[in-house]
Amino acid sequence: MQARTVSTTPFNDQKPGTSGLRKRVEVFRQAHYLENFVQSIFDSIAAPQGATLALGGDGRYFNREAIQIILKMAAANGFRRVLVGKGGILSTPAASCVIRKYQTCGGIILSASHNPGGPDGDFGIKYNTANGGPAPEKITEAIYAASKAISQYRIADTSDIELDTLGDSGLGDMIVSVIDPVGDYAELMESLFDFAAIRKLLSGGFFIKFDAMHAVTGPYAREILVNCLGAAPDSVMNAEPLPDFGGGHPDPNLTYAHELVEVLYGGNAPDFGAASDGDGDRNMILGKHFFVTPSDSLAILAANAHLVPGYKQGLAGIARSMPTSAAADRVAAALGIPCYETPTGWKFFGNLMDAGKVTLCGEESFGTGSDHIREKDGLWAVLFWLNILAVRKQSVEDIVREHWARFGRNVYSRHDYEGIPIDAANGVMKLLRDSFSKFSAQKLGNYTADFCDDFSYTDPVDGSVSTGQGVRIIFTDGSRIVFRLSGTGTEGATLRIYLESFEPDVAQHHLDAQEALAELINIALEISELRERTGRERPTVIT
């Protein structure tokens, strides 16, 4: 193998977001673009000579080509071994599992998560550390700094590696181990859940439908749900991973997973429905004609964790992102355990889990997980729900309504305004920040503002401080409006409005969330001047 050093110049747009670097495919396909960022990772993490790296992605367009480039660069940068998923496939949860099981120095995951794929779609790359979780800010900032100063990268001159056959092959002094992308993950799931009880449920006339959305979880769902647990083969739909996700948008919500929603709200609906996203870390849970909000899902998993073998010993604590509803807080209080409120981004949960402070965690953006890995995990959440259903022998709707009756209902919704002009989005946020003093103690409709702030977080483990995490207006009755710019898009800006009120009265729990939150929605639009400043009359997505 001949390694060569290639001269290059920096790109000015390689600052990682909350989940790595995401850009259009055409951006990543520019000469030197991917190579610059990968070399910046290698230069920043200072892996020891002879280290092992995990590598894989969600199968989207450019995944295979990127893996070949990264393998050649890893060989030229002194890695001893790379574990790569067969066909270049590794779901994000599975990659975290592999990193932890084989104690690699970390891993590179190729995904833009729930963003669309294809030649005109998005691509992404992120580095996960040896704990299996996303790199913390001190590492992503170091990567960004390196990308702004890079002048050369190292790459091997060699032919491509065969990715579709399991086993080891050599790339110079480096071993490339093509591994089964599903096996290690499936083994971990069986250690956490009562597979026998779930098999009995699925063989007793309980029907499920899982939508893989032509994304990475298709092979995982077929192996676990069908082959291991005995679900009917047609229980998994859109199971073949495709580079463009079949032309769909692999985001498991009521808008983009409409095919599954139509099945669960149609005639002869199955008892349980679920979907996962592009890289397998998100989930949507449905019952027959019933939608479970991600905030409620986290709270219900926590309240029922004692029914699941892997969690029957109890929970150390719960963590949720700031925009996520306080439903989990109520469960934590009842269990006598702490509940941490963090910024959006799984890396914040990873610190808490590594310190043994929390067991379960979740975000309102359809992500739930636990300390079994250091990423959110879509299929894990599905199995957790199936385990609870197998034990309680009730419908999804009955379990949710019983939960509300016990803890009260945190009525919750998120309104996404996608692809709006960046200047207009920044203008909305500036207006809100400039209005803090005006909102405080002010009567807004039937609500009185208690306080307003731009959420900041001091990590209780390492003392790091994160500021500017979202504008909050907290009302005296505990209701909230939160405004936040999302860091997961690649074009324009996504402005998200989160709305929450608490309803203890069981007689009101039947209300549709949009109906119950109507006044808060109008207040949010009025004080933000969103329609006037963006020209948008309605959200792109409502969840």
Which of 456, 537, 540 has the alpha carbon at shortest distance from 493? 540
**Beta-strand pair 541-542/236-237:** unpaired
Asked if 115 and 24 count as a contact pair (C-beta separation under 8 A), the reply is: no
Three-class SS state of 481: strand
Which of 406, 399, 395, 398 has the alpha carbon at shortest distance from 506? 406
Q: How many CB atoms lie within 10 A of CB 346?
A: 24
Asked if 456 and 467 count as a contact pair (C-beta separation under 8 A), the reply is: yes
Question: How many Å separate Cα 341 from the centre of its chain?
Answer: 17
Which residue in the list 19, 44, 111, 113 is annotated as catalytic? 113
Asked if 58 and 215 count as a contact pair (C-beta separation under 8 A), the reply is: yes
Q: How many CB atoms lie within 10 A of CB 234?
A: 10
Asked if 382 and 285 count as a contact pair (C-beta separation under 8 A), the reply is: yes
Q: How far apart, in whole angstroms, are the C-alpha atoms of residue 210 and residue 114? A: 16
Residue 351 Cα distances to 58, 382, 458, angstroms:
25, 25, 12
Three-class SS state of 397: helix
- In the block, tokens 């003392």 appear at 463
Query: Nearest 5°: phi and psi at 13?
Result: -130, 35
Q: Is 151 a catalytic residue?
A: no
Q: Which two tokens stand for residue 13?
A: 């747009």
Write out the catalytic residue numbers.
113
